[in-house]
Chains A and B, each alone.
Chain A
Amino acid sequence: MEPQEDSYEDDIIQDSIPVHTAPPLNNFLPWHRVKKQYVRQFQWGYQTSKMIKDSWRRLQNPSLVWTLDETSNEEVQAPDNSQTLKCLVIPGQDLLDIRALRQEVGELNCYIRYLGFNESHGSDHRGTRIHVANNSVTSFSDVSRDSLVLHDKFESIAKTNSQAYRYLKECGPYHVVNLDFCGSVFPNTVTSSQEYYKALHQLLIYQFEHQTSEWLLFITTRIEPNVANDVELQNLCRPARANFDNHPEFATSLEGLIPTGVFQVEEAVVDIRSLDQDQMIRMFGVALSKWLLTLCQSASPKWSIALRSFYRYSINEDAGSEMVSLAFEFTRNIVRPVDPTGMSQLQTTMQTFPTEMQCAVSIAQAISRIRNVDQELNSDSELKIRLRDAQADLLQSAGYDRDAYIQWVNDGETITEN
């Protein structure tokens, strides 16, 4: 779609003759790698199904409360009525994330309705793939037919007068927000990450105003220490530094993760330059989580946040860069009124929510449990085959040549086209 221009002919005649290119169905891309399936299945799928089951458990037993601790993922009786799971996603051209998610939550009697943002969603071959994939995914009986993929980038929601923000409001509030960024949320000198933070802030404002139940936020981004933007990274680290300075408990929880000396400098918030690759990844995890926690605690009512899991994996073709995937769960701090006089005689349970400090410590603990996806896959060849086959099924469902995919994985997952 071309923007409106000033000349007469632009309102009458298009710039070019439409060209169609059928999308190739045996050309595999970075998000087709087995490690991505690992993230889909063990982080996104698992955390979503666990959040749903936890909410049922609390519904059936009101004395259970939301907790920062890892809960069990035992089976639980599903409610009779199916529930709509509203998702906001940045999908790839095959909507593999949604395909995988529906497999996970389909067994939980959930019905998915999603809003996707993908700016390459035009009339080129990538756009065609998304159109076809959207048709295919919404043909499943457990996915709403009016699910949408908008031709916008996610960052556009930062502007309240944008079409993206209009649809954010139209389709929300969301139970699952999966932001698998093409660009980088890691502050860097190559591209600006400012727009992402604006959009994340706007998302939280919207969700905090409209969502009443727990919700998940998955953030996947590239980390490039070689091109770190020092000024922005310092800003992002401010909430973590404040915690470090004021709460010894938090400082203790960071021991072994990040050298505490990096916080004990006067001239900067954090001495970033002294961090190695692993420490930088953990630092970014702490900083981003603490930034989100600051927003949660500044809202009214407050929200609690738990970092449910933290994954890292390498990007084969780009040495020095790594990907991280963080899974956050949010809950609103709504406290029921209590009658201290005993006049009402009504039996109520006293509710408490984690403090800012408790959330921060819990984040540090979650960072320490970081999972290295590459290592997991390299040490378990059976798991790799299982995930390869699961992804092959998803790709076949998306119209791809299954055999060609398995061959591609076995040949080392080389990317031939971006």
Chain B
Amino acid sequence: MSEANPSLSERIHKSEKSHKPVETILKTDQKVLARITDGIYRQPASALRELISNAYDADATEVIIFTDAPRFGYISVRDDGHGLSPEMLEHLVEHIGGSAKRSSEGIDLGITSKDDENLSPGGRKLIGKLGIGLFSVAQFTRHFLIITKTPKDKFRTIADITLGPVAGQEKKLSVDNRSGQQEIQTGHARIWRENAEDADSHGTEIKLLDLLPRTRAELASADLWAKIDFQKEDPDSPNIEIPRYHIGRMKPKQTEVLEIQPELPWSNDDSPKDRFSKFVQAVRGAIDTSDSVDLDILCDRYLQTLWNLALAAPLEYIETHPFDLPADKEIIFFELENKPKGQAKRLSIKTGDTPRKELRLKSPNGAHKDSFKVFIDGIQLFRPIVFKNLPKTSTAVQTPLLFIGSDSQRFEKKPIDLSGGPLVFEAYLFWAPKIIPKQHQGVILRIGNASGSLFDKTFMSYQVSEQTRTRQITAEVFVREGLDGALNLDRESFNFAHPHYQYILKWLHSALRQLANKHKELGKSLRTSKVTAQGEKVRAEVEKKVVHSLKLRGVDDLPEVILIEKEKKADTKRLRNDGAIVLQKDIVVPPSNFKNKTGAEGERRKNAERKAVAIAQLLHGWGLLENLSFDDQEKLIRDILEIVFLD
């Protein structure tokens, strides 16, 4: 740029000496603006998620968020990432709503890796889109500050930005000569540079000021409290209970005092990690008082927001990544087969080994290579999915099942423009008798270990009627390459028609079928062994009873009773001569009484046979069989047995 017409970044640099801010207007093209202002984000928390993504993409190791809950006077999101240079800020301000990530422009600006535009300078797989993420704050406010500093810079750059109408200025329209697109003035910025003594520090802080009333109301669960207020006035209204855990409520028309004090599952003395651990424990522990745990009922909007952010961000698991679970008896592992009609096979993992080692899985636990921590109001977030110490239920299969698979599709035979390029992913489906909270039922798709969406409980529109089983599954797909192109602008939903989405959908549905088959098979076998074990117990008790009764009568020697099959009838005489009591099995225990060939019926029959023997032994011990013909002996025992088995 010439000196007569300096660029925005040149003017920003000049403010170092002049101490005078640079004034500029924010521009964006009409299409982007329309999409943003249409309200692409469903919840205000989406903006926090996007700002966390931006921090991750800037190679931050730590994000500290302060919300001033339940007042929500202002919100601050601060990271220790690379920070924005005046040049980056210029790009951002002049292309707000766009993104220089995943582009050669991003490389020039230092936003992305020099070798790969899909990676951060530090090598992380990019998960956000800077300009869009930043514009997402429009959900919260029309006024925010960006305070940013790059390493070694002796100045920090501050941008005070207002979106929407600017006092005293009309909307200005201009046409971008290159694209022919109409550009719209979307806001105003005042930018300046200030001396920074802390030359080594770096990072970006976004301060969301003048929060929009509806945003504050939403974050503060105003609708919930309004319902509770209404209930007090009208006893006939539906019963709404105050959530067990909440951040409290400000006194109406007050910004100083709370009307209702917070009820939180942790205390001030707990460390940031312990606070979140206690939150997870409290959610899991809620199953003790109800059949299922619903975050919507248990927690207010603020705590739900914490939970949802913890699910979305690329964080470590609160306990263990499912791929790092040690082989023990608490979980049964299966490997999924990559075929439409494949069958999962049980994994035998050596003690001390993990599925990650056995299947050579690569999805990272938490952030790539290094740590990435997110703190909100003094609480450190972790991925709140746990796989151990689950509640016991009465279902046949008690042990959780973990199905793990991976796929790598290069689509080499298809044109890249149609296939969208390679798709590489790993995934697990975790079956447990109860999924806590119920919001974890479903599947979550993660790109670069982050996710914009919550669990999809339809499992990508799985059509098979598996209502009970699908409520017992939580699944995550870790996409290591691809799928990015299928993400919609909101980064919360997918373009269903995209081949990558469709491929994962088919893979997932096959995985669900494989899980269902194994689960059914396991359930059947477990039920059979349970029935067998019960039957054996009954038979042992019958024998014990007979021995005891006859002993009281002074009979120590138990007579041998043989139930002979029809086809072996010829041996009867010989056996009787040997001193045994021989009874025809089909007469004493008629097969017609046992119709089904199930395991339970088999056990019932075995019990009947054992009881027939016991009755014969007792009658013999009492000397009551001696005067009866063999035929009468059989009929008497059969009749007694039928009475015994009458329901």
Contact = CB atoms under 8 A, between A and B. Distances in A.
B21 A123 contact: no
Contact of A162 (B68, B142, B257): B257
B167 A135 contact: no
A292 interface: no
B209 A122 contact: yes
A361 to B, nearest CB: 39
A146 B76 CA distance: 11
B378 interface: yes
A98 B647 CA distance: 84
Contact of B160 (A128, A135, A397): A128
A131 B80 CA distance: 16
Given A3-B254, A164-B256, A140 B162 contact: no
B78 to A, nearest CB: 7
B318 interface: no
B207 interface: yes
A-B pairs, top 6 by smallest CB distance, nearest first, are A399-B194, A18-B143, A123-B209, A22-B21, A139-B201, A20-B160
A346 B409 CA distance: 76
Interface string B161-186: 11011110000000000000000000
B252 interface: yes
B198 A136 contact: yes
B43 interface: no
B62 A169 contact: no
Contacts of A135: 78, 147, 156, 205
- Most chain B beta-carbon neighbours within 10 Å: one of A3, A122, A401: A3
A159 B256 contact: yes
17 contacts: A11-B222, A18-B141, A24-B19, A25-B19, A123-B143, A131-B76, A131-B147, A139-B149, A141-B198, A141-B201, A145-B80, A148-B66, A156-B256, A163-B256, A166-B262, A398-B194, A401-B19
Contacts of A170: 268, 378
A335 B256 CA distance: 40
Contacts of B19: 24-26, 401
Interface residues of B, number: 62
Given A22-B21, A123-B143, A135-B205, A169 B156 contact: no
Interface in B101-160: 141-143, 145, 147, 149, 156, 158, 160
Contact of B190 (A12, A17, A22, A136): A22
B195 interface: yes
Interface residues of A, number: 50
A14 to B, nearest CB: 6
B258 A162 contact: yes
B71 interface: yes
A170 B250 CA distance: 17
A22 B160 contact: yes
Interface in B248-281: 250, 252-259, 261-262, 268
B64 A146 contact: yes
Contacts of A319: none
A145 B204 CA distance: 12
Given A18-B209, A140-B201, A161 B78 contact: no
A131 B145 contact: yes
A397 B195 contact: yes
A255 interface: no
Contacts of A20: 143, 160-162, 188, 190
A136 B210 contact: no
Interface in B62-111: 62, 64, 66, 68, 71, 73-74, 76, 78, 80
B235 interface: no
A128 B147 CA distance: 10
Nearest to B22: A22
Contacts of A127: 209
